[in-house]
């Protein structure tokens, strides 16, 4: 379900059922000449569309305004639009607080941009991860008051840690599109074989290998890309969604 297309009765039903609510998160960044600048976000968005065919999920409007960088190429004429990560925290806080106010308690973000070392984090995901923790803590203090965690009502926090009722800190979770299990088997790169194959599978009309730039060292493996490789990557991503969202 696309959130913007839902009626209030459908939103109330999703809240009641604890349906996962997902924010596709990414950037607008140069991905060499043969791929679209929205590649990172499109990969999340299109993979979620595939997952939606088999499971109930609320898909929020995609957030493209992450912290891309000037490291790959100059912005002029190439399309990257860098947004300072410090500016992302306030907007992420507003988004998360709004979702909690609506009543959602099973919120997730997925990001593909710079997520190869997700445990360490990079500017975009770190901004949203910080905001999620800040907002949950503030929301709980506002609704339950000081000492809420020390109250006997929180006694199952450790013993039932994966339960949304026992552990409010999992009300908002942030994930890489490709977790460690996917990265063991699928190439992670920038505009190379892995990303080009993903776009060939999920968004084929955006790929133009006739415009491939032979001077871009980071994209050279794209010459080995194929829809079949991309299909395999999508299958692994869907398994990741099932592990995370199917609980």
Averaged over 219-238, what is the pLDDT? 98
pLDDT of residue 247: 63
DSSP 105-120: --EEEEE-TT-TTTTT
**Angle of CA points 157, 101, 22, to nearest 5°:** 75
Instruction: Give the whole-angstrom CA distance, residue 45 versus residue 181.
Output: 20
pTM of the model: 0.96
User: Could you give the percent of the chain with pLDDT greater than 90?
Assistant: 97
Q: Which CATH architecture has domain 3-178?
A: 3-Layer(aba) Sandwich (3.40)
Using alpha carbons, select from 92, 74, 90, 70 the residue that is nearest to residue 82: 70
pLDDT of residue 69: 86
pLDDT band (50, 70, 90) for residue 106: very high
- Residue 28 has φ and ψ, to the nearest 5°, of -115, 110
Dump pLDDT digits (tens) for 168-199: 999 999 999 999 999 999 999 999 999 999 99
> Is the separation of the CB atoms in 27 and 67 below 8 Å?
yes
User: Chain-wide mean pLDDT for the chain?
Assistant: 96
Averaged over 90-97, what is the pLDDT? 98
Domain boundaries along the sequence of the chain: 3-178
Instruction: Give the whole-angstrom CA distance, residue 113 versus residue 44.
Output: 10
pLDDT at 205 over 70: yes
pLDDT at 81 over 90: yes
């Amino acid at each position: 379900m696309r959130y913007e297309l839902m009626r209030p009765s459908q939103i109330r039903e999703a809240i009641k059922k604890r349906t996962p609510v997902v924010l596709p998160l990414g950037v607008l960044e140069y991905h060499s000449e043969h791929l679209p600048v929205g590649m990172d976000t499109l990969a999340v968005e299109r993979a979620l569309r595939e997952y939606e065919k088999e499971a109930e999920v609320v898909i929020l409007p995609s957030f493209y305004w992450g912290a891309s960088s000037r490291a790959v190429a100059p912005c002029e004429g190439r399309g990257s639009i860098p947004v300072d990560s410090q500016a992302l925290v306030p907007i992420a806080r507003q988004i998360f607080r709004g979702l909690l106010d609506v009543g959602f308690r099973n919120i997730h973000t997925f990001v593909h941009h710079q997520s190869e070392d997700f445990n360490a984090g990079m500017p975009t995901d770190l901004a949203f991860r910080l905001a999620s923790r800040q907002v949950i803590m503030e929301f709980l203090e506002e609704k339950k008051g000081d000492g809420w965690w020390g109250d006997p009502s929180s006694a199952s926090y450790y013993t039932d840690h994966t339960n949304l009722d026992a552990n409010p800190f999992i009300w908002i979770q942030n994930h890489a599109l490709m977790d460690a299990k996917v990265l063991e088997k699928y190439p992670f790169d920038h505009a190379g074989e892995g990303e080009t194959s993903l776009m060939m599978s999920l968004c084929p009309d955006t790929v133009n290998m006739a415009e491939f730039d032979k001077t871009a060292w980071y994209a050279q493996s794209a010459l080995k890309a194929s829809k079949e490789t991309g299909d395999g990557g999508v299958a692994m991503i869907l398994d990741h969604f099932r592990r995370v969202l199917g609980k």
